[in-house]
Amino acid sequence: MMKQTVVITGASRGIGRAVALAFAEKSASKNDHEEYNIFVNCAKNSELLENVKKQIRDLGVCCESFTGDISDYNTAMEMFDEVHRHFGNVDILVNNAGISIIGLFQDMTRDEWDRIMNVNVGSVYNCCHFAIPDMINAKSGRIINISSVWGNAGASCEAAYSATKGAVNSLTKALAKELAPSGICVNAIACGAIDTDMNSFLSDEDKLSLFEEIPAGRMGRPDEAGKLAVMLADAPSYLTGQIITLDGAWI
């Protein structure tokens, strides 16, 4: 069986790291026939990214990495050139790269607005733009976008972040319709409160208040998002265009 190539952005920590490790563990499992080549990316922290690559290789799974801000079109093109050089075509793309800016909308500068739009939406455009031709040629492929419940409901003091995730959700649905005739599935995971560095600003008191709002009584774990991404990669091809919420029944 030929190995599938998985590209995961924003993979040095948090959800992206968990997704990369989940694919690696599935590939390394003696009880599973799926095998993957894994290509991980982050914008800046090469040291953390190299640690993730080492963890994956220690499982006996092929892995390569690329440090660079793929919200920049030329940098994204350079990254996919590296993917093709190492592994050939892209079979699965997980768009996870993202940032959050918290504060009142009227206090946000235009530069901050442009930055979050470029990272959270522009990177998805760039990576899809370079991955889709491979998938169309193969008449198969999976695109999994990591989104947020705030893309569905909106959040006070996170207007720009909510707008970017709403855009990702709409792009997911539109691309799914456009690419379904080519055998390509496009879905998104709308994450709720996940225990990552992005939520590390919360105090213990804030976390306890949050837990009271979430019926599951806790934050989600990154590995739960990772497992769901792997499930979507292996889901029936009729499952496409869906925004799947992972939030403990919160929103």
pTM comes to: 0.96
Catalytic residues: 161
pLDDT > 90: percent of the chain: 92
Closest CA to 6 of 44, 52, 72: 52
Note the Cα 222 to chain centre separation in Å. 11
Residue 35 lies in a domain: yes
Residue 111 lies in a domain: yes
pLDDT of 2: 82
d(CA 73, CA 237): 30
pLDDT of 197: 82
Residue 77 lies in a domain: yes
Residue 138, helix vs strand vs coil? helix
- Domain containing 173 — which CATH number? 3.40.50.720
Domain that holds residue 75: 4-245
Residue 251 lies in a domain: no
Note the Cα 16 to chain centre separation in Å. 6
Instruction: Check: CB of residue 103 under 8 Å from CB of residue 147.
Output: no
User: What angle do the packed helices 110-117 and 159-179 form, to 10 degrees?
Assistant: 30
d(CA 129, CA 80): 10
Residue 44 lies in a domain: yes
pLDDT of 237: 96
Digit-coded pLDDT (tens) for 19-66: 999 999 999 996 667 899 999 999 999 999 999 999 999 999 999 999
- Residue 202 in this model has a pLDDT that exceeds 90: no
- Residue 17 in this model has a pLDDT that exceeds 80: yes
pLDDT of 1: 64
Helix ranges (DSSP H) in the chain: 14-28, 46-58, 73-87, 110-117, 123-138, 150-153, 159-179, 204-213, 222-233
Task: Give the mean model confidence (pLDDT) for residues 138-149.
Answer: 98
Instruction: Check: CB of residue 12 under 8 Å from CB of residue 42.
Output: yes
Residue 250 lies in a domain: no
pLDDT of 201: 80
Backbone phi, psi, residue 83, to 5°? -55, -50
pLDDT of 32: 66
d(CA 138, CA 146): 24
Which pLDDT band holds residue 199 (cuts at 50, 70, 90)? confident
C-alpha distances in angstroms, 157 versus 51, 101, 103, 204, 209?
A: 34, 8, 5, 20, 18
Residue 155 lies in a domain: yes
pLDDT of 30: 64
- Residue 95 in this model has a pLDDT that exceeds 80: yes
Asked which of 98-102, 104-108, 127-131, 205-209 is least confident by mean pLDDT, the reply is 205-209
pLDDT of 34: 81
For the chain, the domain total comes to 1
- Residue labelled with tokens 């390394």: 28
Instruction: Check: CB of residue 127 under 8 Å from CB of residue 113.
Output: no
Instruction: Check: CB of residue 15 under 8 Å from CB of residue 224.
Output: no
